[in-house]
């Protein structure tokens, strides 16, 4: 029964069908193209959904209605926005470094897309599964800073420049914390392969956040803070602090180029939450308790990708809550927080985790 | 004040002292600085607060009036008057060294009347372009649009200021650079989300740190003072609402009182009560906006919407009362436009209960927040001396420990019948100004509570003549608006239109202090400090 609700069953059907009817290279080619298309679509759809959710949720936070005109409850609002942004003119600006200016948004979108592709969305729904998956995630997600710096530099605008400089300082600092927090868990799991990490977390108390107890919880919190900072969202939205720098590094962008930044920002929020889910909260694993067979079966009837999106959605909600409650930090406070608090705590935490692993003090 | 009079006559024996309206001392232009300095630093009652500087075209001569007050007791008032008969190249001595607030005012007078001030460090025109032809407030000004056509070409801003300094060899004209040659200058404004209007700060940065701010203003200058000279008093009333639009009703109250005082119109008590009630409601909504926009400047957008939500309750009361929301056109000469509606008291009571609850919520949401504290505490520090010298009144001045609430020191209307405490903090930082506003909302609620059930019966409007003519003379009125002291000065020559009308704008003083308190702060804090000062641009660009 359960196998019918999970993706691998249908994927295998498709795979077999193609391979029996076509030579292997053709079947593979079709599969690659299909996967690419599905990922692209998912990327766009998730971003649109997130934009809608953020606007609606923020509306409730702020005692407003949020979008409510296009479609029932304004559901199609972000689709309309997407069409608008696709049709908008890309304004040519004098005195910019043309090549870098037009190149910059691609760094942003490509980096977030590369990260997106490596997330395990559900049982068998995992496109790229490297042995050093976590390393890969950290590496490609850092590429986006190049897009930000290039945008700020190439725009020939002082606001953009200040925004980009802030962003550079912020990103490099917080990347460190995020990576260290993930390393803490890698110490616990003993592998960087995302699929193995998810497989290890079968029962609830095997979720890394519980299995590694104290250091894992600390790492989780630090990862959320650092991840939040990496996505340039309030209270860490200094690079685009609209009340100071109008729009920061993307001030001069319009049309689809701006759309790329916008899309990447929302997707990065999702990606950070997705990585946190995978590494700390058991990924797509449903809530399972050893010995409670009836309960486990019932939980298994909820498809694994629903679990993944549910957990990720919960973290995204946290991020929204923080975003719309706190005022913005100042650049020196931001760097203080990282270098004076998060990083030292992280280092001690890493050592603590090593000790726990050596003496086997984690939950077996 | 007798002592002061003695002192004046001792310093400048040929001064002409007149006491019909206010104690007015007329001196020749060469004696003015000496007298001003004596008054500024005298022991008994130092007149260290320059309330208003009024330039006027007296026909033959061009003159300046200095309205002085003492920071110890802001109800003490004294007017100095001087003039120069040279209409071609009028020169007067600057008092910038005594009162910093004179700096911008002198630049304004230069733009409007062409009087240049010796020793003012930066004698560019304020409000107007440097190449503007003519001086608008002079009576012989030619307003032909062909003389000053609308320029559609972009022009570079020249950061070089002319000035006249007095040296031992005599007067010397020279120019100074505002910025150093290799400064990294960033334009904050005129179109900028946090400038609360069309204000333009040319800011030189050293990394993230603000080195210097140069204020450019006048992008929405409408020449209200000039326009008023050709309109009757009831017509001028409409302009007051369009100065500081957030304390529209209070501004209008000031002008009404000034005209009523001059024309000796008795305002019925009922109207007085209604005026004060609406003033306080106006003050609350203004502080709510100030609170919300400050939070927004610091990046907390939710707080902004919360402030707007409560403000809506007040606007609804205003709408029922007068039909207007922001600009309510409610005060008229002799009273108020309409009587209060049934259920006004009930609405106010409901509002008071709601607002008290909400202020607590604001404190919970924002005041105690760690990040918010880090962004406000010990930033933009303005000492009491600076506040007085820059004439920064209102919640900002009181945040620096200066007791300057005119509602207490010079109670007008029925403010002497209510009990309330002046909110004073001595820290002088952005946080003190922030808390002052929230606390003043509470005081305003107290005032509302004391008045709302005691509105006496009677007329809501005195009968006035169809055409109001003011007897010859100079009339002043100072009130406590939401942002500080708002003042009206009318010089009448017995006509139905004023000969000269001047508004004292509290926001101009606030902005003039910005370069001082933002120096060496971070760019982000410049925005936050601006939010804590809470200036409204149309108030500056009269």
Asked whether the beta carbons of residue B302 and residue A331 sit closer than 8 angstroms, the reply is no
Q: What is the pLDDT averaged over residues A36-58?
A: 87
- Is it the case that residue B472 has pLDDT exceeding 70? yes
Contact with chain A for residue B261, Cβ under 8 A: no
Alpha-carbon distance A54 to nearest alpha carbon in chain B (angstroms): 13
The CA distances from residue B18 to B15, B61, B78, B85, in Å, are 10, 19, 11, 21
Find the CB nearest B194 among A235, A237, A244. A244
Which chain A residues have a beta carbon less than 8 Å from that of B193?
242-243, 246
Q: Helix or strand or coil: residue A282?
A: coil
> Domains in chain B and their CATH numbers?
2-141+162-176 (3.30.460.80), 224-454+470-540 (1.10.645.10)
d(CA B54, CA B66): 6
Q: What is the pLDDT averaged over residues B60-72?
A: 86
Provide the total of helices (H) and of strands (E) in chain B, helices listed first: 17, 17
Contact with chain B for residue A246, Cβ under 8 A: yes
Q: Helix or strand or coil: residue B176?
A: strand
| Mean pLDDT estimate for chain B | 86
Structure tokens at B355: 């607002």
The CA distances from residue A119 to A144, A317, A319, B5, in Å, are 17, 19, 19, 84
Q: Which residues, 6+ apart, have CB-to-CB distance to A49 below 8 Å? A: A78
pLDDT higher at B22 or A333:
A333
Asked whether the beta carbons of residue B299 and residue A64 sit closer than 8 angstroms, the reply is no
Asked whether the beta carbons of residue B306 and residue A243 sit closer than 8 angstroms, the reply is no
Asked whether the beta carbons of residue A162 and residue B194 sit closer than 8 angstroms, the reply is no
Contact with chain B for residue A325, Cβ under 8 A: yes
Asked whether the beta carbons of residue B371 and residue A333 sit closer than 8 angstroms, the reply is yes
d(CA A232, CA A211): 30
Residues β-bridged to residue B500: B491
Tens of pLDDT, residue by residue over B200-217, are: 888 888 878 888 888 888
pLDDT at B56: 86
DSSP string, B238-249: HHHHTSSGGGHH
Please answer whether residues A270 and A312 qualify as being in contact, where contact means their C-beta atoms are separated by less than 8 angstroms. Answer: yes
Contact with chain B for residue A331, Cβ under 8 A: yes
The CA distances from residue B87 to B30, B63, B140, B356, in Å, are 17, 10, 11, 57
Which chain B residues have a beta carbon less than 8 Å from that of A246?
192-193
- Is it the case that residue A169 has pLDDT exceeding 70? yes
Please answer whether residues B137 and B57 qualify as being in contact, where contact means their C-beta atoms are separated by less than 8 angstroms. Answer: yes
Which chain A residues have a beta carbon less than 8 Å from that of B192?
246
Of A284, A286, A282, which Cα lies nearest the Cα of A301? A286
Which chain B residues have a beta carbon less than 8 Å from that of A330?
374-375, 522, 524-525
Q: Which residues, 6+ apart, have CB-to-CB distance to B538 below 8 Å? A: B197, B220, B222, B242, B243, B244, B245
Residue B182 banded pLDDT, cuts 50, 70, 90: confident
d(CA A208, CA A193): 14
Asked whether the beta carbons of residue B365 and residue A331 sit closer than 8 angstroms, the reply is no
Alpha-carbon distance A162 to nearest alpha carbon in chain B (angstroms): 8
Of B40, B35, B38, B61, which Cα lies nearest the Cα of B50? B40
d(CA B198, CA B194): 10
d(CA A314, CA A332): 30
Alpha-carbon distance B523 to nearest alpha carbon in chain A (angstroms): 8
d(CA B47, CA B3): 13
pLDDT higher at B151 or A272:
A272
Q: What is the pLDDT averaged over residues A200-229?
A: 84
Structure tokens at B78: 């004294």
d(CA B5, CA B87): 31
Tens of pLDDT, residue by residue over B137-159, are: 888 888 888 888 888 888 888 78
d(CA A241, CA B297): 9
Tens of pLDDT, residue by residue over A140-158, are: 888 888 888 888 888 888 8
Burial of A166 (0-12, 13-18, 19+ CB in 10 A): buried
Structure tokens at B81: 């008057």
pLDDT at A71: 80
Q: Which residues, 6+ apart, have CB-to-CB distance to B191 below 8 Å? A: B198
Contact with chain B for residue A328, Cβ under 8 A: yes
Contact with chain A for residue B232, Cβ under 8 A: no
Residue A345 banded pLDDT, cuts 50, 70, 90: very high
Find the CB nearest A241 among B299, B300, B303. B299
Structure tokens at A121: 């969305």
Alpha-carbon distance A243 to nearest alpha carbon in chain B (angstroms): 5
Q: Helix or strand or coil: residue B491?
A: strand
Of B291, B287, B356, B281, which Cα lies nearest the Cα of B324? B281
Please answer whether residues B504 and B487 qualify as being in contact, where contact means their C-beta atoms are separated by less than 8 angstroms. Answer: yes
Q: What is the pLDDT averaged over residues A45-69?
A: 87
Tens of pLDDT, residue by residue over B483-494, are: 888 889 988 888
Q: What is the pLDDT averaged over residues A42-69?
A: 87
- Is it the case that residue A351 has pLDDT exceeding 80? yes
Of B242, B208, B279, which Cα lies nearest the Cα of B451? B279
Residue B323: φ, ψ to 5°: 95, -20
Alpha-carbon distance B203 to nearest alpha carbon in chain A (angstroms): 12
Find the CB nearest B305 among A64, A329, A330. A64
Burial of B192 (0-12, 13-18, 19+ CB in 10 A): buried
d(CA A240, CA A247): 5
Which chain A residues have a beta carbon less than 8 Å from that of B374?
329-330, 333
Find the CB nearest B296 among A63, A237, A243. A243
Q: Helix or strand or coil: residue B460?
A: coil
pLDDT at B19: 75
Asked whether the beta carbons of residue A244 and residue B527 sit closer than 8 angstroms, the reply is yes
Asked whether the beta carbons of residue B295 and residue A327 sit closer than 8 angstroms, the reply is yes
The CA distances from residue B411 to B40, B404, B485, in Å, are 25, 12, 13
Asked whether the beta carbons of residue A329 and residue B298 sit closer than 8 angstroms, the reply is no
Asked whether the beta carbons of residue B301 and residue A333 sit closer than 8 angstroms, the reply is no
Asked whether the beta carbons of residue B300 and residue A333 sit closer than 8 angstroms, the reply is no
Residue A76 banded pLDDT, cuts 50, 70, 90: confident
Q: What is the pLDDT averaged over residues A258-265?
A: 84
Q: Which residues, 6+ apart, have CB-to-CB distance to B157 below 8 Å? A: B202, B216
d(CA B172, CA B401): 40
Asked whether the beta carbons of residue A327 and residue B298 sit closer than 8 angstroms, the reply is yes
DSSP string, B194-214: TSSSS-EEEEEEETTEEEEEE
Tens of pLDDT, residue by residue over B401-445, are: 888 888 888 888 888 888 888 888 888 888 898 899 999 999 999
d(CA A218, CA A235): 20
Find the CB nearest B374 among A61, A241, A333. A333
pLDDT at A243: 66
d(CA A343, CA A180): 8
Find the CB nearest B193 among A242, A331, A333. A242
Which chain A residues have a beta carbon less than 8 Å from that of B184?
158
Alpha-carbon distance A141 to nearest alpha carbon in chain B (angstroms): 26
Q: What is the pLDDT averaged over residues A344-352?
A: 90
Which chain B residues have a beta carbon less than 8 Å from that of A63?
305-306, 309
- Computed on alpha carbons and rounded to an integer, the radius of gyration of chain A in Å comes to 21
Asked whether the beta carbons of residue A243 and residue B297 sit closer than 8 angstroms, the reply is yes
Please answer whether residues A311 and A277 qualify as being in contact, where contact means their C-beta atoms are separated by less than 8 angstroms. Answer: yes
Count of CB contacts below 8 A, A vs B? 80
pLDDT at A259: 85
* Angle (nearest 5°) at CA B81 between B75 and B84: 160
Please answer whether residues B7 and B39 qualify as being in contact, where contact means their C-beta atoms are separated by less than 8 angstroms. Answer: yes
Give the strand order in the sheet containing B184-188. Answer: B184-188, B200-206, B209-216
Q: DSSP code of A240?
A: G
Cis peptide before A63 (omega within 30 of 0): no
Structure tokens at A244: 């100071």
- Is it the case that residue A43 has pLDDT exceeding 80? yes
Q: Among residues 111-170 of chain A, which lie with CB inside 8 Å of chain B?
A: 158-159, 162, 166
Which chain A residues have a beta carbon less than 8 Å from that of B354?
none
| Mean pLDDT estimate for chain A | 84
- Is it the case that residue B496 has pLDDT exceeding 70? yes
Contact with chain A for residue B520, Cβ under 8 A: no
Q: Helix or strand or coil: residue B541?
A: coil
Q: Helix or strand or coil: residue B72?
A: coil
Q: What is the pLDDT averaged over residues A62-68?
A: 85
Please answer whether residues B489 and A296 qualify as being in contact, where contact means their C-beta atoms are separated by less than 8 angstroms. Answer: no
Residues β-bridged to residue B50: B68
- Is it the case that residue A2 has pLDDT exceeding 70? no
Find the CB nearest A246 among B193, B299, B366. B193
Residues β-bridged to residue B18: B24
Q: What is the pLDDT averaged over residues A340-352?
A: 90
Asked whether the beta carbons of residue A325 and residue B299 sit closer than 8 angstroms, the reply is no
Nearest CA in chain A to B309: A63
Residues β-bridged to residue B93: B118
Structure tokens at B404: 């300057």
Which chain B residues have a beta carbon less than 8 Å from that of A234?
299
């Amino acid at each position: 029964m359960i196998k019918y609700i999970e993706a691998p069953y249908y994927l295998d059907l498709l795979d077999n069908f193609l391979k029996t009817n076509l030579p292997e290279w053709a079947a593979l080619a079709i599969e690659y193209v299909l996967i690419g298309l599905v990922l692209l679509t998912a990327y766009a759809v998730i971003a649109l959904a997130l934009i809608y959710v953020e606007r609606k949720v923020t509306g409730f936070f702020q005692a407003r209605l949020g979008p409510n005109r296009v479609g029932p409850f304004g559901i199609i609002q972000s689709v309309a926005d997407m069409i608008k942004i696709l049709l908008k003119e890309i304004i040519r600006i004098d005195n910019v470094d043309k090549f870098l200016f037009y190149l910059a948004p691609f760094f942003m979108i490509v980096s977030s897309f590369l990260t997106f592709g490596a997330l395990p969305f559900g049982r068998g729904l995992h496109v790229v599964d490297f042995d050093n998956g976590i390393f890969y995630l950290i590496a490609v997600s850092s590429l986006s800073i190049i897009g930000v710096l290039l945008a700020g530099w190439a725009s020939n605008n002082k606001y953009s420049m200040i925004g980009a400089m802030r962003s550079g300082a912020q990103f490099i600092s917080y990347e460190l914390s995020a990576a260290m927090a993930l390393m803490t868990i890698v110490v616990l799991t003993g592998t960087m392969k995302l699929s193995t990490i998810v497989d290890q977390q079968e029962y609830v108390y095997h979720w890394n956040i519980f299995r590694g107890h104290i250091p894992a919880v600390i790492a989780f919190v630090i990862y959320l803070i650092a991840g939040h900072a990496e996505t340039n969202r309030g209270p860490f939205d200094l690079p685009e602090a609209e009340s100071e720098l109008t729009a920061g590094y993307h001030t001069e962008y319009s049309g689809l180029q701006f759309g790329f930044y916008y899309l990447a920002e929302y997707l990065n929020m999702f990606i950070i939450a997705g990585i946190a889910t995978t590494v700390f909260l058991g990924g797509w694993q449903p809530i399972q308790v050893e010995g409670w067979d009836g309960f486990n079966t019932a939980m298994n009837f909820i498809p694994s990708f629903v679990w993944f999106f549910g957990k990720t959605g919960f973290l995204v909600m946290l991020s929204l809550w923080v975003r719309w409650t706190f005022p913005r930090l100042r650049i020196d406070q931001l760097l203080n927080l990282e270098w004076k608090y998060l990083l030292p705590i992280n280092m001690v935490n890493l050592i603590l985790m090593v000790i726990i692993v050596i003496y086997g003090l984690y939950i077996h | 004040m007798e002592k002061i009079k003695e002192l004046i006559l001792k310093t400048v024996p040929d001064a002409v002292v007149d006491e019909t309206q206010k104690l007015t001392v007329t001196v020749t232009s060469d004696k003015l600085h000496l007298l001003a300095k004596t008054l500024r630093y005298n022991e008994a009652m130092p007149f260290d607060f320059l309330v208003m500087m009024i330039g006027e075209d007296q026909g033959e001569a061009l003159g300046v009036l200095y309205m002085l007050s003492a920071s110890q007791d802001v109800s003490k008032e004294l007017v100095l008057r001087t003039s120069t008969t040279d209409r071609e190249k009028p020169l007067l001595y600057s008092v910038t060294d005594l009162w910093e607030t004179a700096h911008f005012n002198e630049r304004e007078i230069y733009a409007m009347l062409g009087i240049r001030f010796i020793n003012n460090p930066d004698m560019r025109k304020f409000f107007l372009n440097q190449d503007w032809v003519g001086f608008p407030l002079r009576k012989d000004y030619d307003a032909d649009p062909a003389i000053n056509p609308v320029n559609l070409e972009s022009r570079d801003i020249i950061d070089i200021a002319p000035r006249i300094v007095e040296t031992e060899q005599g007067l010397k004209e020279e120019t100074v650079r505002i910025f150093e040659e290799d400064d990294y200058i960033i334009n904050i404004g005129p179109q900028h989300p946090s400038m609360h209007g069309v204000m333009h700060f040319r800011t030189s940065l050293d990394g993230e740190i603000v080195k210097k701010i140069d204020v450019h203003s006048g992008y929405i200058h409408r020449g209200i003072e000039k326009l008023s000279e050709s309109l009757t008093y009831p017509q001028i009333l409409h302009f007051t609402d369009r100065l500081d639009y957030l304390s529209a009703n209070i501004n209008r109250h000031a002008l009404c009182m000034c005209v009523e005082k001059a024309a000796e119109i008795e305002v019925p008590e009922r109207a007085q009560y209604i005026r004060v009630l609406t003033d306080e409601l106006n003050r609350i909504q203004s502080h709510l906006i100030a609170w919300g926009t400050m939070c927004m400047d610091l990046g907390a957008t939710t707080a902004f919407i919360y402030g707007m939500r409560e403000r809506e309750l007040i606007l609804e009361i205003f709408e029922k009362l007068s039909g207007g929301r922001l600009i309510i056109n409610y005060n008229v000469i002799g009273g108020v436009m309409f009587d209060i509606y049934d259920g006004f008291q009930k609405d106010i009571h409901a509002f008071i209960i709601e607002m008290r609850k909400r202020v607590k919520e604001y404190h919970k949401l924002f005041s105690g927040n760690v990040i918010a504290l880090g962004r406000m505490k010990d930033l933009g520090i303005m000492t009491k001396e600076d506040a007085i010298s820059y004439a920064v009144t209102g919640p900002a001045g009181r945040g620096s420990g200066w007791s300057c609430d005119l509602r207490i020191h010079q109670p007008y209307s029925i403010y002497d019948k209510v009990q309330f405490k002046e909110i004073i903090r001595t820290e002088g930082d952005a946080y003190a100004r922030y808390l002052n506003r929230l606390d003043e909302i509470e005081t305003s609620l107290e005032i509302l509570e004391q008045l709302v059930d005691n509105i006496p019966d009677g007329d809501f409007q005195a009968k006035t003549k169809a055409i109001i003519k003011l007897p010859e003379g100079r009339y002043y009125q100072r009130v406590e608006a939401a942002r500080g002291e708002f003042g009206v000065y009318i010089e009448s020559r017995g006509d139905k239109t004023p000969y000269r009308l001047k508004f004292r704008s509290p926001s101009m003083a606030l902005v003039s202090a910005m370069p001082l308190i933002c120096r060496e702060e971070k760019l982000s804090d410049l925005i936050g400090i601006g939010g804590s000062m809470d200036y409204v641009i149309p108030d500056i660009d009269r």
